[in-house]
Amino acid sequence: MGGSVSISALIVGTALLGIFALASLSLNNSALSASEVLEEASDEPEIRLINASESSGVIHLNMTNAGDETISFDQTWFSIDGELPIRASDYHTQSTILFPGETLHMQLTGTGHTSPARLFVASMGSQSGVSFS
């Protein structure tokens, strides 16, 4: 009698341990996924246009990366006077990335604008705009 009860208790105990192990694994996976979600949510760049001017159809501008993330010119779009956005990498080929803290002078040629009033830039959720001086 005593032997069978012990065996039953052993089986039930083993089953419960198995369930707890499954629960721990699932909890661990949940924590990992949650941390991945948080990492995804925190990587937004911060781009700033400092000034812009136009001379003989060439647009000169200075901009800086004020955030902690690198900014790719493939993902950076300029809009002049509210018109169709143009990709920065189509007009600037000397470098491809604006590093955190870096300030760059850029020239945009062939945009077709002769007396623009306002320049706007957008890159992966970050926006900045300046009036031409």
Partner 1 sequence: MADGGASELIMLISGLLVAGIVTTLLVASWGGLANSVDTAQTQAEANSKTKAALASDPMQVSWDQPSCNLSLHIQNTGSLELMDDEIGIIANGTASTVNQTRLLGNSSVWTSGEVLELQVCPPGITMSAGQEITVTVIVRSEHYQGISGQYSFSEVVRLV
Interface residue list for partner 1 (CB under 8 A): 1, 3-5, 7-8, 11-12, 15-16, 18-19, 22-23, 26, 29-30, 33-34, 36-37, 40-41, 44, 72, 74-75, 77, 79, 81-82, 84-85, 87, 118, 120, 122, 124-125, 127, 129
SS percent in the chain: helix, strand, coil, step 5: 35, 35, 30
Angstrom distance (rounded) from CA 25 to CA 8:
26
Our CB check for partner 1 shows the closer of 56 and 114 to be 114
Q: How far is the CB of 72 from partner 1 (least distance, A)?
A: 7
Q: How far is the CB of 114 from partner 1 (least distance, A)?
A: 18
Our CB check for partner 1 shows the closer of 11 and 58 to be 11
Q: How far is the CB of 26 from partner 1 (least distance, A)?
A: 5
What b/e string do you get for 120-130 counting C-beta neighbours within 10 Å, with b at 16 or more?
bbbbeebebeb
Structure tokens that stand for 100 in this block: 């955190």
Do 119 and 128 touch, CB atoms closer than 8 A?
no
